């Protein structure tokens, strides 16, 4: 491992170039509903999120996009109009037979467990089904999960809040 003298001007130039490149990567993605589809915008946001090298970088990015996302796409909510029949979903029989009615809050609102593609995106895919009735554009839900957790970090890391869950 090479050692560098902090007073060496070449080191400072390299650091400044690195900082500028890092800032360019973190600039707010060009979220534009007229130029890109909603799915394209969320894929662009997710790519920017993946470029973040630290939580601080992620906070900067989220603060630059959060309001624009809300303004353009609103909030995602549980959609009570989504049904297994109308949206051509497949009931997950194994999950349904596993005492589902006593294990989940979703049973209380009359939903059934459905099968989703098992590609590592099952949580965002499930969220997408609850909000929109399809699992195809799970990238939006993945981005919204990150935005929610970064924006409300104090809540998610609060000892008092975490102890309430026990």
Q: Which residues, 6+ apart, have CB-to-CB distance to 69 below 8 Å? A: 31, 45, 143, 144, 147
Contact 156, 166 (CB under 8 A): no
Segment 88-110 mean pLDDT: 58
**Residue-level pLDDT at 138:** 82
What are the angstrom distances between the C-alpha of 147 and each of 6, 98, 106, 108? 36, 33, 23, 28
Residue 145 has pLDDT above 80, yes or no: yes
Tens of pLDDT, residue by residue over 151-165, are 988 888 878 777 776
Phi (first) and psi of residue 159, to 5 degrees:
-60, -45
**CA 149 centroid distance within chain:** 9
Segment 129-149 mean pLDDT: 81
Q: Which residues, 6+ apart, have CB-to-CB distance to 30 below 8 Å? A: 36, 44
Question: Of residues 75 and 24, which shows the higher confidence score?
Answer: 75
Tens of pLDDT, residue by residue over 26-85, are 455 566 656 567 788 888 899 999 999 999 999 999 998 888 888 777 665 555 555 555
What is the chain's mean pLDDT, rounded?
Answer: 68
Segment 114-126 mean pLDDT: 69
Strand partners, 114: 91
User: Structure pTM?
Assistant: 0.59
**Residue-level pLDDT at 155:** 82
**Residue-level pLDDT at 68:** 82
Sorted by where each begins, the domain ranges of the chain are 34-164
**Cα 101 to Cα 114: distance, rounded to the nearest angstrom:** 14
pLDDT band at 110 (very low <50, low <70, confident <90, very high): low
CA nearest neighbour of 74 among 46, 105, 111, 33: 33
Contact 45, 31 (CB under 8 A): yes
- Torsion sign (Cα): 122, 128, 133, 135: negative
Q: Which residues, 6+ apart, have CB-to-CB distance to 146 below 8 Å? A: 49, 58, 62
Q: What percent of the chain has pLDDT over 90?
A: 12
């Amino acid at each position: 491992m090479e050692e560098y003298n902090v007073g060496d001007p070449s080191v400072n130039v390299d650091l400044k170039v690195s900082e500028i490149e890092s800032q360019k990567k973190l600039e707010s993605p060009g979220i534009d509903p007229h130029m890109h589809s909603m799915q394209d915008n969320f894929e662009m946001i997710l790519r920017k999120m993946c470029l973040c090298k630290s939580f601080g970088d992620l906070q900067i990015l989220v603060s630059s996009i959060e309001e624009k996302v809300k303004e353009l796409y609103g909030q995602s909510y549980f959609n009570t109009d989504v049904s297994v029949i109308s949206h051509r979903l497949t009931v997950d029989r194994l999950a349904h037979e596993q005492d589902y009615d006593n294990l989940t809050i979703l049973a209380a609102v009359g939903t059934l467990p459905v099968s989703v593609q098992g590609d590592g995106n099952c949580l965002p895919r499930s969220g997408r089904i609850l909000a929109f009735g399809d699992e195809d554009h799970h990238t939006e839900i993945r981005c919204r999960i990150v935005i929610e957790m970064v924006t409300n970090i104090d809540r998610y890391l609060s000892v008092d809040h975490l102890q309430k869950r026990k």
